[in-house]
């Protein structure tokens, strides 16, 4: 039933959104300042080439305009022509694929897109075939706090080197098939999202219904215990037959005879019905067994 509910939701996400939350497959944005290395988590995009296995190091330059929804200025001219440059771009205002394409067209070798007013990470995708075919640089998505820290460092230094680090045993399922058609991309992304959605919903199901089941079990245990307690405190009635183990009523000191009505207290002591009724009646408050003094609850 859960699968039937998830299918249309995840499918709509694939075809209507240009970005969406996905499973945690991290690369790291690392920079060094004052002999201290700092790193931030980032998600690799599902368009353009993957971040190289050996990582990618370059000068970080903030895009102008910052959202890169229009063509942006290129890296600084002169210097070492072999140096790589990475564009820092803010989210929103236009599709993510357009932002990355503008960074590529300006001469950047990679792009870091950051969230705005959120630390949430999303995997960047596109269902626009033209953009998907044109994007040829790797890109990652990171949170707002990472962008603020990187901007502070850029403001205090002439140039900041950052490295996109690929952890050992890193595997991004976006690149299981190097070249996918737009239909394949949507289907492949659907497979990734469905797996994530299913695991997430199963986890939520266990959390929510696990608590409910636990409460039901506890309630049943309490009810069962209460019933057992009431049953164990109940006075039962029996008719004496020859051969029964009961012999004498300690209240009237008479022996039991065939057909006598007896009452058995919760403590298992036995008396004539009329004898124990009279005994309990003359006890105004705390009613107890004549022999063991165990409290007896009388039904009202």
> What is the assigned CATH class of domain 14-178?
alpha beta
Of 285 and 96, which is predicted with more confidence? 96
Angle at 283 between CA 281 and CA 284, to 5 degrees: 100
Q: Which CATH number fits domain 233-281: 3.30.40.10, 3.40.30.10, 2.40.30.10, 3.40.50.620?
A: 3.30.40.10
Structural contact between residues 137 and 102, judged by C-beta atoms closer than 8 angstroms: no
The residue extents of the domains of the chain are 14-178, 233-281
pLDDT at site 268: 86
**DSSP tag of 295:** B
- Show the tokens assigned to 175: 């690149």
Q: Is the pTM of this model over 0.85?
A: no
Structural contact between residues 44 and 55, judged by C-beta atoms closer than 8 angstroms: no
CA 92 to chain CA centroid, nearest Å: 26
**Structure confidence by residue, pLDDT tens digits, 200-226:** 556 666 666 777 787 888 888 888 777
Give 153-156's long-range contacts (Cβ < 8 A, gap of 24+).
153/31, 153/33, 154/60, 154/62
- Show the tokens assigned to 168: 């050992």
Distance separating the N- and C-terminal Cα atoms of the chain: 51
**The pLDDT of residue 136 is above 90:** yes
Structural contact between residues 91 and 11, judged by C-beta atoms closer than 8 angstroms: no
pLDDT at site 208: 63
């Amino acid at each position: 039933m859960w699968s039937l509910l998830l299918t249309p939701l995840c499918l709509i996400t694939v075809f209507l959104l240009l970005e969406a939350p996905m499973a945690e497959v991290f690369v790291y944005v690392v920079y060094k300042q004052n002999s201290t290395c700092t790193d931030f988590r980032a998600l690799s995009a599902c368009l353009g080439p993957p971040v190289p296995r050996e990582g990618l190091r370059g000068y970080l330059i903030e895009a102008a305009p910052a959202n890169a929804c229009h063509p942006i200025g290129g890296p600084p001219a002169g210097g070492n022509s072999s140096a790589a440059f990475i564009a820092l771009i803010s989210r929103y205002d236009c599709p993510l694929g357009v932002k990355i394409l503008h960074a590529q067209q300006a001469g950047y070798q990679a792009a870091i897109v950051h969230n705005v007013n959120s630390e949430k990470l999303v995997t960047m995708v596109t269902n626009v075939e033209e953009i998907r075919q044109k994007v040829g640089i790797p890109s990652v998505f990171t949170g707002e706090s990472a962008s603020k820290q990187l901007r502070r460092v850029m403001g205090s230094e002439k140039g900041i080197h950052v490295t996109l680090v690929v952890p050992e045993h890193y595997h991004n399922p976006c690149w299981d098939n190097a070249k996918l058609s737009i239909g394949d991309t949507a289907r492949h992304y659907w497979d990734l999202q469905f797996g994530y959605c299913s695991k997430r919903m199963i986890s939520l199901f266990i959390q929510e219904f696990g608590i409910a089941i636990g409460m039901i079990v506890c309630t049943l245990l309490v009810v069962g215990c209460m019933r057992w307690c009431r049953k164990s405190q109940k006075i039962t009635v029996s008719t004496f037959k020859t051969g029964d183990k009961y012999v004498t009523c300690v209240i009237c000191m008479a022996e039991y005879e065939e057909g006598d009505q007896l009452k058995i207290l919760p403590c298992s002591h036995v008396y004539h019905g009329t004898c124990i009724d009279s005994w309990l009646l003359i006890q105004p408050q705390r009613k107890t067994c004549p022999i063991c003094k165990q409290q007896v609850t009388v039904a009202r």
